[in-house]
Amino acid sequence: MRRRAGDRGQVSVEFLGMTPLIVLTLVLVWQCVLAGYTYTLAGNAADEAVRAGTAAAPGERQGACEQAGLKHLSAAWRGNATVSCATGGGYVQADVSLKVPVLFPGSIDFPVTVHGHAGAVEEAKD
C-alpha cells in the first residue's frame, strides 16, 4: 500500500499562494477600521466641544469649545485636527475635521477628511 507522492506538499504550496491575498485582506480590513474609528472620534469631539461651549460663559465659549474638542483626541489625530465653533441665536455649533491615517495613526494620512458636526441650545445663565 504505497501512497502516491504526486500531490505531496500541495497544502503548503496553496497556502503560500494564498498568503499575499490573506495579508492584503487583513490590511484592507484594518484600514476600514481606522476610517470608522476616525468618524467616531470626529463625532465625539464635536459633541464634547458643543457640551463645553454651551456650559461656558458667553465670552469664553469659543475657547472652551475648541479646547474641549481637542482634549479627548490622541496625539495621532490631534495633529491635523481642526475644531471650529459658532454661536448665534441661542445655539452653539461645532465642526471637527480629522484626517484618516494610513495603517498607523500618527504616520501619514490619506487626503480624505472626516467631518463631525454637533449642535446644542445654549444654557441659560442667571
| Residue-wise pLDDT tens digits, 33-53 | 998 999 999 999 999 889 888
126 contacts 60 by C-beta, under 8 angstroms:
no
What percentage of the chain reaches a pLDDT higher than 90?
22
Amino acid at 29: V
Average pLDDT, integer, range 10-35: 88
Per residue in 43-70, is it b (16+ CB within 10 Å) or e — as a string? bbbbbbbbbbbbbbeeeebbebbbbbbb
Highest-confidence segment of 1-5, 58-62, 122-126: 58-62
Sorted by where each begins, the domain ranges of the chain are 10-121
Q: What's the pTM value of the predicted model, to 2 decimals?
A: 0.77
Which pLDDT score, from 0 to 100, does residue 75 have? 83
Closest listed residue to residue 80, CA positions, set 65, 62, 98: 98
Residue 2's contacts (CB-CB under 8 Å, 6 or more residues apart) are none
